[in-house]
């Protein structure tokens, strides 16, 4: 290094640092964390960077990001993610694996959305088990509820209760990594209708017993959302209710109305997951919550 160059470095680096102009600092950013209800599996176009995450470029984080106007955006959501995958690499197929989602955060992160908890209680396994039991019992009775409450203990209620401390650990870690970020935890939209009277017409594409609808809707999904909401608010963050605006847009509605596809999808979305309309509706709910929190969001 020449003497003249060393002089320039010695003289000007303190000035640059004092002005907060260090070249290595990342820009303010929005980071999206979450599972498949955030990632949007099979909704086209799909992000090719980590194929095993089945992450859509048309999911709600990608719809929200342009309206935030922040200079950087990272969506690291991944189908199948659990709360543990915020801290550790998630094994997906095909490779590469999805890195720990919390690694996307830094001190310059201004906005975080997080959608997690469903896979902690075994969402996919529940859907498969309840469908199989519904078919085996010719859609009579409530075989799914009977299965999960056998012996007088509600197995899924215990799983949901365990989500609270796991989610709190994630929220504490987000605050530690991004102390100035506004954090929005996004709940799950309605999968089943509020009324079971006409559910029989839905059974070909949602093969569960009508008697199991109140249990899965109220004792499972609504209880999970309530647990996520309570934990989020207790940690000082914002909960985004996507269930209320999605009532009447459940998987039993016609394709042009529903936000969630049934077991037999009629759109580019995974079974029992949000479709393109669902992502738009969830993005609207997220942006409304952000505006209420004072986050600048374009109309």
| Strand (E) or helix (H) holding 114 | strand 109-115
- DSSP letters along 155-168, please? HHHHHHHHHHHHHH
CA-based nearest residue to 116, from 184, 52, 29, 217 = 184
Would you please indicate which residues are annotated as catalytic (active-site) residues? Answer: 36, 273
The CA distance from 164 to 185, in Å, is: 13
Residue 181: half-sphere exposure toward Cβ, Cα within 13 Å: 29
Phi and psi at 269, nearest 5°, equal: -155, 155
Strands 109-115 and 29-34: parallel
Whole-Å CA distances, 176 to 60, 70, 184: 25, 21, 16
* Residues 6+ positions from 196 with CB-CB distance below 8 Å: 210, 213, 214
Whole-Å CA distances, 225 to 14, 116, 207, 241: 50, 10, 23, 8
The CA distance from 37 to 32, in Å, is: 12
Beta-bridged to residue 183, according to DSSP, are: 112
At CA 229, angle to CA 224 and CA 230, rounded to 5? 100
């Amino acid at each position: 290094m020449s003497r003249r160059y060393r002089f320039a470095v010695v003289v000007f680096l303190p000035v640059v640092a004092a002005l907060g102009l260090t070249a290595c600092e990342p820009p303010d950013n929005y980071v999206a964390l979450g599972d498949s209800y955030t990632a949007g599996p099979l909704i086209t176009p799909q992000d090719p960077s980590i194929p095993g995450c089945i992450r859509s470029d048309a999911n709600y984080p990608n719809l929200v990001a342009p309206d935030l106007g922040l200079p950087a955006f990272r969506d690291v959501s991944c189908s199948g993610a659990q709360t543990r995958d915020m801290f550790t690499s998630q094994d997906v197929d095909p490779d590469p694996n999805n890195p720990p989602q919390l690694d996307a955060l830094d001190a310059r992160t201004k906005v975080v959305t997080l959608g997690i908890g469903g896979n902690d209680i075994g969402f996919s396994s529940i859907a498969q088990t309840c469908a199989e039991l519904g078919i085996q019992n010719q859609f009579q009775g409530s075989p799914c509820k009977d299965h999960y409450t056998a012996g007088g203990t509600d197995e899924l209620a215990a799983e949901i209760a365990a989500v609270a401390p796991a989610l709190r650990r994630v929220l504490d870690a987000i605050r530690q990594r991004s102390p100035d970020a506004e954090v929005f935890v996004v709940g799950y939209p309605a999968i089943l209708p509020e009324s079971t009277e006409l559910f029989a017409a839905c059974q070909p594409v949602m093969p569960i017993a009508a008697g199991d609808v109140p249990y899965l809707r109220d004792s499972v999904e609504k209880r999970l959302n309530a647990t996520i909401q309570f934990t989020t608010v207790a940690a000082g963050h914002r909960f985004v209710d996507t269930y209320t605006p999605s009532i009447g847009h459940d998987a039993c509605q016609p394709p042009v109305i529903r936000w969630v596809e049934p077991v037999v999808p009629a759109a580019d979305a995974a079974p029992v997951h949000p479709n393109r309309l669902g992502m738009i509706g969830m993005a609207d709910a997220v942006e409304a919550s952000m505006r209420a929190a004072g986050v600048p969001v374009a109309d």
